[in-house]
A and B are shown apart, each in its own frame.
Chain A
Amino acid sequence: MSASIALPGFADPVGEAQATFRAVLDAMARPGRPQQAGERLAAPAPLDPATAATLLTLIDNETPLWLDHSAVPARDWLAFHCGAIIVDGPERATFALALSLPDLTTLSAGTHEAPESSATLILQIAALGSGTRYRLSGPGLREPTLLAAAGLSREFTAAWQQNHALYPRGVDIVLCAGTTLTALPRSVSIEEA
């Protein structure tokens, strides 16, 4: 009931959620390949359209969501449009929203019996397609591919190697910037190029 819900969600809830779901699915299947999402969405500050569209599509009242402190201004909007249950501890979340790289070890990595119960991190960064270049390889990539991303911290590759080593456990990341998103499933190995 807060006055801070200033913006609507998807204009076409079914069509746009399906299109965004498809984009996330394709992104997970082809790590590092950019996909478009949220072009028609007015996202609440501080979120970018792709981030907001991904959240509207994936979050509901059965997926506990953790927000890093810089994402808190979008809290009311997420609670209203997604019905999101916002949790205080990252270890209890199935989705995490962050505007800077959090400590991946604090997120749920799942168990060997149920690796699918791990958390998915939705990470908004400054830009995709420019900035530091990373070489990705692994399932879904016939040959290693390059991903350029600006705004990932210096410790990212080390943190990712630690996460990748947990396979089949581990955290998956959806990177969002502007209206572009791309995914880094736990199975992909990343090194700076």
Chain B
Amino acid sequence: MPDALSPDQPHVARRRWMAVLARADAAELSDALGSNGSLPEYRVLRGPEAGLVMVRGRTGGGGAPFNLGEMTTTRCSVRTDSGFVGHAYIAGRNERLAELAALADAMLQDPASQSRLLTDVVEKLAAAQQVRRDATASKAAATRVQFFAMRNMRT
């Protein structure tokens, strides 16, 4: 992340927008969708419901896989009246976000509204998320300790 958007690979594009939607803030996503015209009619197929998924890890990134622990996730699937099915899996327990993200996923699959939503919703949210990530990274970078001095002293 962030992957480059490539129109000839629909799964890559969808993976990216689902990732952005899953990390979004519910109020932010609701505002972005709402300011973009009326929401389509839809019905919920499943959820939103919370559950656990097992997170697996590998020692050093390449060792034998082991179960790190379970994390809470919330999932939701909706179907718009125009027939598009959207899914969302959200880390943590946020049922409103899961439902909004699933609806946005369904709307993004509609070729009629896709490009408009990609620029007005997905890119906007991705930019905001990038700003937040950069801010955290720069705060963390300020506390970084360089150990070069000690190593140089020993040799």
Binding site for B on A (CB under 8 A): 1-3, 5-9, 13, 80-81
Helix, strand, loop or mixed for chain B's interface?
strand
Residues of B in contact (CB 8 Å), total 11
A-B contact pairs, 20 of them (CB 8 A): A1-B85, A1-B87, A2-B85, A3-B83, A3-B84, A3-B85, A5-B45, A5-B85, A6-B79, A7-B45, A8-B43, A8-B44, A8-B45, A8-B46, A9-B45, A9-B46, A13-B49, A80-B45, A80-B77, A81-B46
Closest B residue by C-beta to A7:
B45
Among B43, B44, B45: residue with most chain A CB under 10 A: B45
Binding site for A on B (CB under 8 A): 43-46, 49, 77, 79, 83-85, 87
Chain A contacts for B84, CB-based, 8 A:
3
Q: How far is the CA of A44 from the CA of B53 in the complex (A)?
A: 29
Chain B contacts for A9, CB-based, 8 A:
45-46
CB-based closest 5 A-B pairs = A8-B45, A3-B83, A5-B85, A3-B85, A5-B45
Chain B contacts for A7, CB-based, 8 A:
45
Residue pair A5, B79 in contact (C-beta under 8 Å): yes
Extra contacts besides A2-B85, A3-B79 (10): CB < 8 Å: A1-B85, A3-B83, A3-B84, A3-B85, A5-B85, A8-B44, A9-B45, A13-B49, A80-B46, A81-B46
